[in-house]
Structure 1
Amino acid sequence: MATKFLSPKLLNTLPPFTRFLSSASTASIAAVSPLNFDEKPEPNDAEKQLTEPTTATTNLDLSDHQKLFASVSTLKLLRSSATLGLASNERFIDFGMWVMNSRLMETSLVRDAILKTVKHTFFQQFCAGETTEEAADCVRRVHDSGFRGMLVYAVEHTEDNAGCDRNLEGFIKSVELSKSLPPSSVSFVIAKITAICPIGLLRRVSDLLRWQYKDPSFNLPWKLNTLPIFSDSSALYHTLEKPAPLASQEELDLHLAHQRLLKLCQKCIQDNVPLTIDAEDTSIQPAIDYFTYSSAIMYNRDDKPIVYCTIQAYLKDARERLFMATKTAESLGIPMGFKLVRGAYMSSESNLASLLGYDSPIHNSIGETHACYNDCASFMLERIADGYGAVVLATHNIESGQLVASKACDLGIRKGNQKLEFAQLYGMSEALSFGLKNAGFQVSKYLPYGPVDMVVPYLLRRAEENRGLLSTSSLDRILMGKELMRRQKKLQFTKSKMASPSSIKVEIGTE
């Protein structure tokens, strides 16, 4: 019989969330990311950010484009501005997705031409390279700009054990790569459970875990100790009938998958690099949380989390699940780290729930999602201030960045605290990244890498889930445009000064 460490009823006896973030309106500012960070913003928010005052206590200045982009070359500014402009056009993205998924890709010459074009535009903007050597060079460049790198070997959705074994080696090489780079230049190695456990098995395990939550007498003999995976508000409609127990081969595959994760955790401990497990859609997320929490119980020790779980704040149960898992881990003396994101599977989640006749597991409004994200961030900051846990605040949302930075200062969390990290995607939200860095906070850039034909599908899956992909780039494009204009004027002034005739002094002397 499974053991529940913390029943939902017990929540009423625990301290509620206190000292939430500022109640300033969150209805207008959002973000979208191809890698699960944020959601779509309302129009004109970028312009508002240039005129609205920043919280004074954080020194988070997002208006001084000259200071923000001081370390960025003009060539990179030009390329980034152009690429972000294209990426913010939904019709262009739709056309690109159609091409990438069309039969055109079956013709080798056409495929090579398309991938070459992608490599020198979007791949170059948002990815760290194809090889470990290119990823290492990217980490060094990022580090020279004052950021840290989150190494992401971009594989996922694997069907068999052979593919899972290959992917594990790729993740192991990411950890080894981090040791060859400057100290502290790599903040995390990122892994996806879908890359080291067959996707069909993750669905089966998730079904079994959901059914056990409905019926605690349902025995799962293979189940290890874990933290709370569900709350009373969690979506359970994926499993409408009692699932069959795992077959002997499935149990063996589950054991192999768990051994892969443990091997990766052991490597991270050996090389002192934290591991963050990315989130997926709710159909398989219970199994992912099970893998993550069971390994965290084994390896998170001495107030230093090695294994981080990802919480998607756009889910209605996110706040409660974070609270329950954190409190249970704390009661067991296990330091727990979380990466907090907004979420990426909005369309598929809502469509599936509607098809089955259930309410969407996602908050009914963007304002509710923002409130949930900010509340979860506030809760984790308070835990850190009390000496427990760690958090990665992965967001492209300007308002959340400002509010959380202010909250950290109010709680006395010193800038540079190893338990607090901000994160944005490589090539996106540069203004927010530089602003947070200039204010003294640790900032990481999410660096996916791998062969173009492997990484592009990885990004396209996010594009399909996020209509309005990369529209968060509007503030960056405005500020980049202003900085390019400033540099152009400066260049013109310099050229004009150099071209002006020098004054000639003629002295007429006497013989």
Structure 2
Amino acid sequence: MKHLNIFDNTEVAFQLKSNKELDRAYFLFKMISNESLVKVGTALTNFAIKAHLPINGIIRATVFDHFCGGINEDDCLTVIDTMYTKGVSSVLDYSVEGKESEAHFDGAMEKTLKIIRFSDEREAMPIAVFKPSGFGRFALYQKISENKPLTEKEQEEWNRVVARYDAVCKLGKEKNVKILIDAEESWIQDAVDALVTDMMRTYNQSSTIVYNTLQMYRHDRLEFLKKQHELAKKEGFYIGYKIVRGAYMEKEHERSILQGYPTPICESKLATDDNFNAAAQYILDNLSEISVFVGTHNEISSYLVMDLMAQKNIAKNDSRVWFGQLFGMSDNISFNLADKGYNVAKYVPFGPVKDVMPYLIRRAEENTSVAGQTGRELMLIQKEKARRKAAK
């Protein structure tokens, strides 16, 4: 590698963190590294929320402020503006999960439209995002994915889902703000894919505005990407993909066993890594037609994309290639990439403390289960603390 291990540079990685914030990060990752503690903490937090105990302050001062930008858009401004001084953009992610009413779906759409308008005024926010299950009922996506006929009432409901996507993608096009649409569980993803492809047909005529998400722990996604590429070439529109490894592995495995169908997940971590890297390579080989948002906390994949860009003479700041990580994690990747001139954006979750808790719990559980992730964070924080001590 020709990069002198840039991701080991903790001075750049943590340049925005005070000593106090570093200490808090160390404490949090230390807690998250203990699986039993995460389980107990999750149970206690859920109980406290249901019992309406006054825990907002404690959560806000610890886990919330580390992994979230704020409780509303304006609350996130300090985080957004501060990160942008170091070249890191923000993707505001309204992280309220598990709501199922039409009022909530309309509310999520309005929130996303507001973020796009908000983004339009700020160079630091070139991208907006939404989650399909935030815009429509999970069971409805599932019914469509299973090719089951809809009742008249369900068809009307689906038309409203389509209208929400359309309103967001249309405004994204008007304001030149990229729209990332997250992936969901495999058994509802077909409906999402078909709808997002329709949005690409409409709004990606002259450039890539709408991006779908490929969870590369699914062994069928590379083939899907290639078929979509053929379709786009045939019909004359651009396509964009956020590539990630994936977020629902245990759930996917359990359901496939329970219902007796082959698991959609790759047979191993190595197969997932190979699949992810192959997707990145395929997209960079076809950058004239496909744009990419490389959503990864994996240093090897990040180095690979950097190398491929160099080999293909793709400018570091080419608007068709973005790197992204979650706020509160992998600052060593985000800030060192930005320092070298690449396009980087942090996903910045926000929302009322109580409503964002399911997201935060999922983050904690994911960190516990991803081998090496938490240990790497702890090691880098320790290294930076030692560097600061020695520099005194």
Identify the TM-score tier after normalising by the shorter chain: over 0.9
State the alpha-carbon separation in 2 of the partners of residues 318 and 154 from structure 1: 25
Q: 1:440 Cα shift? A: 2.2
State the alpha-carbon separation in 2 of the partners of residues 157 and 291 from structure 1: 21
- Structure 2 counterpart of 1:447, one-letter code: V
Residue 107 in structure 1 maps to residue 11 in structure 2: no
Q: 1:445 Cα shift? A: 0.5
Query: CA 1:253–1:466 in structure 2 vs 1: closer, same or farther (change >3 Å)?
Result: farther
Residue 330 in structure 1 maps to residue 233 in structure 2: yes
Q: Quick one: which of 157, 161, 175 aligns to 1:257? A: 161
Q: Quick one: which of 72, 79, 86 aligns to 2:24? A: 79
Q: 1:467 Cα shift? A: 5.1
Is contact 2:217–2:275 with CA below 8 Å preserved after alignment?
Answer: yes
Query: CA 1:162–1:174 in structure 2 vs 1: closer, same or farther (change >3 Å)?
Result: same
Map 1:219-368 → 2, pairs under 5 A: 243=148, 245-302=149-206, 304-368=207-271
Is contact 1:65–1:482 with CA below 8 Å preserved after alignment?
Answer: yes
Query: CA 1:67–1:158 in structure 2 vs 1: closer, same or farther (change >3 Å)?
Result: closer
State the alpha-carbon separation in 2 of the partners of residues 59 and 441 from structure 1: 16
Is contact 1:309–1:337 with CA below 8 Å preserved after alignment?
Answer: yes
Tell which deviates more after alignment, 339-348 or 321-330.
321-330
Q: Could you tell me which residue of structure 2 aligns to residue 452 of structure 1?
A: 353
Q: Quick one: which of 172, 175, 178 aligns to 2:116? A: 175
State the alpha-carbon separation in 2 of the partners of residues 423 and 281 from structure 1: 21
- Structure 1 counterpart of 2:50, one-letter code: E
SS of the aligned residue for 1:445 comes to strand
Q: 1:471 Cα shift? A: 5.0
Deviation string, structure 1 residues 317-368 (Cα, Å, up to 9, x no partner):
0110111112211221111110000001111110111112222110111110
Q: Could you tell me which residue of structure 1 aligns to residue 143 of structure 2?
A: 204
- Structure 2 counterpart of 1:425, one-letter code: L
- Structure 2 counterpart of 1:162, one-letter code: A
Residue 475 in structure 1 maps to residue 376 in structure 2: yes
Map 1:479-494 → 2, pairs under 5 A: 479-491=380-392
- Structure 2 counterpart of 1:468, one-letter code: S
Is contact 1:339–1:392 with CA below 8 Å preserved after alignment?
Answer: yes
Aligned residues: CA RMSD: 1.8
SS of the aligned residue for 1:362 comes to coil
Is contact 1:153–1:174 with CA below 8 Å preserved after alignment?
Answer: no
State the alpha-carbon separation in 2 of the partners of residues 116 and 471 from structure 1: 30
Deviation string, structure 1 residues 147-194 (Cα, Å, up to 9, x no partner):
01111112344323222111111111111221232x2x1131010111
Is contact 1:62–1:435 with CA below 8 Å preserved after alignment?
Answer: yes
- Structure 2 counterpart of 1:350, one-letter code: H
Larger radius of gyration: 1
Q: Could you tell me which residue of structure 1 aligns to residue 132 of structure 2?
A: 193
Q: Could you tell me which residue of structure 2 aligns to residue 404 of structure 1?
A: 305
Q: 1:266 Cα shift? A: 1.4
SS of the aligned residue for 1:283 comes to helix
Q: Could you tell me which residue of structure 1 aligns to residue 14 of structure 2?
A: 69
Is contact 1:164–1:195 with CA below 8 Å preserved after alignment?
Answer: yes
Query: CA 1:71–1:196 in structure 2 vs 1: closer, same or farther (change >3 Å)?
Result: closer
Is contact 1:347–1:465 with CA below 8 Å preserved after alignment?
Answer: no
Q: Could you tell me which residue of structure 2 aligns to residue 131 of structure 1?
A: 72
Q: 1:401 Cα shift? A: 0.9
- Structure 1 counterpart of 2:138, one-letter code: I
SS of the aligned residue for 2:6 comes to coil
Q: 1:116 Cα shift? A: 2.2
State the alpha-carbon separation in 1 of the partners of residues 365 and 16 from structure 2: 34
Q: 1:489 Cα shift? A: 2.9
Q: 1:470 Cα shift? A: 8.6
Deviation string, structure 1 residues 452-492 (Cα, Å, up to 9, x no partner):
1111113334555775269513223212212212212333x
Q: Could you tell me which residue of structure 2 aligns to residue 434 of structure 1?
A: 335
- Structure 1 counterpart of 2:14, one-letter code: F
SS of the aligned residue for 1:159 comes to coil
Query: CA 1:465–1:77 in structure 2 vs 1: closer, same or farther (change >3 Å)?
Result: closer
Query: CA 1:462–1:349 in structure 2 vs 1: closer, same or farther (change >3 Å)?
Result: farther
SS of the aligned residue for 1:399 comes to helix
State the alpha-carbon separation in 2 of the partners of residues 371 and 88 from structure 1: 26
SS of the aligned residue for 1:284 comes to helix
Is contact 2:71–2:353 with CA below 8 Å preserved after alignment?
Answer: yes
Q: 1:66 Cα shift? A: 2.9
- Please give the TM-score of this superposition, normalised by the length of structure 1: 0.73
- Structure 2 counterpart of 1:374, one-letter code: N
- Please give the TM-score of this superposition, normalised by the length of structure 2: 0.95
State the alpha-carbon separation in 1 of the partners of residues 324 and 155 from structure 2: 36
SS of the aligned residue for 1:186 comes to coil
Task: Work out the number of aligned pairs and report it.
Answer: 392
Q: Percent identity?
A: 30
Tell which deviates more after alignment, 307-316 or 323-332.
323-332
- Structure 2 counterpart of 1:252, one-letter code: E
- Structure 2 counterpart of 1:154, one-letter code: S
Deviation string, structure 1 residues 368-400 (Cα, Å, up to 9, x no partner):
00000000010011111xx22210000001111
Q: 1:60 Cα shift? A: 5.2
Structure 1, gaps ≥5 residues long: 1-54, 209-242, 492-511
Q: Could you tell me which residue of structure 2 aligns to residue 47 of structure 1?
A: none
- Structure 2 counterpart of 1:347, one-letter code: E
Q: Could you tell me which residue of structure 2 aligns to residue 98 of structure 1?
A: 43
